[in-house]
């Protein structure tokens, strides 16, 4: 039975994981368990906090209704015979106490701290200044001294540098935990790792390819970690720009703007095209977005205020994860990215939800049943 790991990278990745958690709570996905991880530099990002709160709630609910409890739910009996799919799939945080990994701690508030600028030689400082905007840059364009407390603010190259340093040196527990899970492959167990994030913005754009390439190298034939590479499968869901936000309240703020989203996405698409041609990083890569971007109407660069509403493209991306986890291993390899589409640009219905035939039957039945129960509970039990 496979070990399934779902990792949301950045705020968009966290929202995709949030949608996936609702699917899993309805019984849509792989059994018996999915391990959940969240990667974000912004420790108080509202999207990440909300997703982790949901994960903790589902863990408590499942424990409350487990075997031996007074209100136990029967998850072993077939649904036709009276069993239930509600909470039937166990979810577990990546670490003992939390799902969230923050790459750079509080004592490393800028890229200069992360890269140990004070210990660099003159040649290293010259190279560092060439790659990242330093003292001569305006406050809106600074990169070396940009406060990382609210994430990477649309600067993927800054995030990639900070992430590589954190993974390999400063905060190695994330990689150590993934290696521990991947080592189950040495005993013949299949391990599936699915990542979700955006190809625009900061943390997702920086972390998605960086972490994927790192994991791909770990499954190479010359790895020294006792990992059986052919048992490790890597998938991912990349989000194209699907929402836009209002202008920042401070025009000199060091943040990404809506006008920068599409140009950044175009450059990122070219990067992924080159990456996929050179390296077989992903067994299966999904790409989704939305034709007309949702207008959020406000601009929050990070912290608790970045608490965006749930949007339909995130459900589509979450279904990509369920597709990846539930396919037969022989059907996983895909030679090109998979793209979601709908039948009519003016509407979106059940038939537009992307899933392989077996998953689609489960989706219609279990998610539909859960939605009906939720509506009944909301308006009849707790009006």
Residues 141 and 286 in one domain: no
Residues 133 and 172 in one domain: no
Residues 338 and 230 in one domain: yes
How many domains does the chain contain in total?
2
Q: How many angstroms separate the first and last alpha carbons of the chain?
A: 42
Residues 132 and 48 in one domain: no
pLDDT given at position 300: 56
Residues 72 and 171 in one domain: yes
Residues 206 and 79 in one domain: yes
Range of the domain at 142: 110-146
DSSP one-letter string for 42-78: -TT-HHHHHHHHHHHHHHHHHHHTSTTSTT----SS-
Residues 187 and 127 in one domain: no
CA dist 366 and 85 (Å) reads: 7
Is the separation of the CB atoms in 363 and 319 below 8 Å? yes
Q: What is the pTM of this model?
A: 0.87
pLDDT given at position 108: 67
Of 182, 193, 142, which is closest to residue 332 (Cα–Cα)? 193
Residues 58 and 121 in one domain: no
Residues 198 and 257 in one domain: yes
CA dist 154 and 164 (Å) reads: 17
> What are the per-10-residue average pLDDT scores of the chain (383 residues)?
94 96 96 95 85 96 85 82 86 96 78 80 84 73 74 72 80 93 95 93 82 92 90 94 66 55 72 78 90 70 64 94 95 84 84 91 93 92 83
pLDDT given at position 55: 98
Task: Burial-class residue 91 by CB neighbours within 10 Å (0-12, 13-18, 19+).
Answer: buried
Is the separation of the CB atoms in 35 and 90 below 8 Å? no
Residues 114 and 94 in one domain: no
Given 128, 146, 164, the domain boundary residue is: 146
Residue showing tokens 């991912």 = 236
Distances (CA, A) of 13 to 185, 193, 211, 223, 236: 26, 14, 13, 28, 10
Residues 185 and 287 in one domain: yes
Residues 254 and 369 in one domain: yes
Phi, psi of 363 (to 5 degrees): -65, -50
Given 146, 167, 196, the domain boundary residue is: 146
Given 88, 123, 146, the domain boundary residue is: 146
Is the separation of the CB atoms in 28 and 359 below 8 Å? yes
């Amino acid at each position: 039975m496979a070990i399934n790991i779902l990792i949301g990278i950045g705020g968009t990745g966290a929202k995709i994981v949030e949608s996936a958690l609702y699917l899993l709570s309805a019984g849509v996905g792989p059994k018996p368990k999915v391990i959940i991880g969240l990667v974000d530099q912004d420790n108080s990002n509202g999207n990440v906090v909300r997703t982790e709160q949901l994960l903790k709630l589902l863990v408590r609910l499942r424990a409350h209704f487990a075997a031996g409890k007074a209100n136990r739910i029967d998850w072993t009996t077939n649904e036709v015979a009276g069993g239930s799919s509600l909470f039937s799939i166990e979810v577990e945080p990546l670490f003992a106490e939390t799902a969230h990994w923050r790459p750079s701690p509080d004592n490393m508030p800028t890229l200069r701290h992360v890269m140990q600028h004070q210990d660099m030689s003159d040649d290293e400082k010259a190279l560092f200044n060439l790659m990242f905007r330093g003292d001569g840059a305006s406050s809106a364009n600074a990169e070396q001294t940009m406060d990382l407390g609210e994430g990477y603010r649309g600067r993927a190259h800054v995030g990639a540098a900070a992430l590589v340093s954190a993974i390999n040196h400063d905060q190695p527990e994330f990689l150590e935990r993934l290696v521990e899970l991947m080592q189950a492959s040495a005993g013949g167990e299949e391990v599936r790792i699915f990542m979700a994030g955006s190809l625009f913005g900061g943390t997702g754009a920086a972390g998605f390819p960086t972490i994927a390439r790192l994991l791909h190298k770990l499954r190479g034939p010359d790895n020294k970690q006792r990992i059986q590479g052919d048992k490790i499968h890597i998938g991912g869901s990349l989000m194209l720009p699907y929402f836009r936000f209002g202008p920042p309240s401070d025009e000199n703020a060091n943040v990404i703007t809506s006008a920068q989203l599409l140009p950044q996405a175009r450059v990122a698409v070219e990067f992924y095209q080159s990456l996929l041609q050179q390296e077989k990083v992903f067994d299966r890569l999904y790409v989704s977005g939305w034709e007309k971007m949702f207008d959020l109407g406000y601009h929050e660069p990070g912290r608790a205020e970045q608490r965006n509403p749930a949007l339909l493209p995130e459900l589509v991306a979450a279904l990509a994860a369920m597709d990846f986890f539930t396919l037969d291993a022989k059907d996983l390899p895909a030679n090109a990215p998979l793209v979601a589409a709908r039948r009519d640009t003016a509407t979106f219905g059940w038939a537009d939800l992307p899933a392989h035939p077996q998953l689609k039957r489960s989706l219609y039945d279990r998610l539909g049943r859960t939605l009906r129960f939720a509506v009944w509970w909301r308006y009849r039990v707790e009006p």
